[in-house]
Chain A
Amino acid sequence: AQSVAQPEDQVNVAEGNPLTVKCTYSVSGNPYLFWYVQYPNRGLQFLLKYITGDNLVKGSYGFEAEFNKSQTSFHLKKPSALVSDSALYFCAVRTYGNNRLAFGKGNQVVVIP
């Protein structure tokens, strides 16, 4: 079975400060890891992925994430948060040959002006 845990319900950060959204995962085999963002009443928008290679991956809108195999984590980061980053963020995992994504419950990010 594959699963994702996003331990915090909401992350509050002041505009201009670093933003971190935490994610830990559980899979059998090598993980494919993803971050998505969802704005109100919208679908999911792909931000970045880790498949293999460098542990630090860069994605859209200045976001990056670090894969840590020993801690089974894939935390999302942004050096300087914008008010427009306020949204719901989902971490997801799958494995090669298993096409279903397992999502975490999501983290609401609130960037305070």
Chain B
Amino acid sequence: DAGVTQSPTHLIKTRGQHVTLRCSPISGHKSVSWYQQVLGQGPQFIFQYYEKEERGRGNFPDRFSARQFPNYSSELNVNALLLGDSALYLCASSHEDILNTEAFFGQGTRLTVV
């Protein structure tokens, strides 16, 4: 079975630009979450989507948005990029039933803002 796949793997953008990151969950998983991992820190929660609805949002500005599609894939959009948005962006998918609660992560998208 394919794991969580993210694209692209690396990206370089200029300040002020917009970026779209993509994620395909593990087959059968309906929940997708996004995390930002700045160098030297643990991942920080950005969004969670379940069945195409936003279920949670972390402490990130409105420049960050996301959506989930009918096939459960997801996009993370960031507008007006700042240097501080440079990070590894991780997507995770999960079953979200009472026994299968662990999240499985993709390899991440390394975003560099210059």
Chain A interface residues toward B at CB < 8 A: 4, 32, 34, 36, 41-46, 49, 51, 90, 92, 94, 96, 98-106
Contact = CB atoms under 8 A, between A and B. Distances in A.
Interface in B71-92: 90, 92
A51 B107 contact: no
Contacts of B102: 34, 46, 49
B64 to A, nearest CB: 14
Contact of A101 (B41, B43, B108): B43
A99 B107 contact: no
B45 A102 contact: yes
B31 interface: yes
B43 A99 contact: no
- Give the interface residue-count category, chain B: 20 to 34
B9 to A, nearest CB: 9
B109 to A, nearest CB: 10
Contacts of A4: 42
B42 A43 contact: no
A99 B50 contact: yes
15 contacts: A34-B102, A42-B107, A43-B6, A43-B90, A43-B107, A45-B105, A49-B102, A51-B99, A99-B50, A99-B56, A100-B33, A100-B45, A101-B103, A104-B42, A105-B42
B58 A43 contact: no
Nearest to A32: B101
A100 B56 contact: yes
B48 A100 contact: yes
Contacts of A101: 33, 35, 43, 45, 92, 103
B29 interface: no
A99 B56 CA distance: 7
A96 B97 CA distance: 10
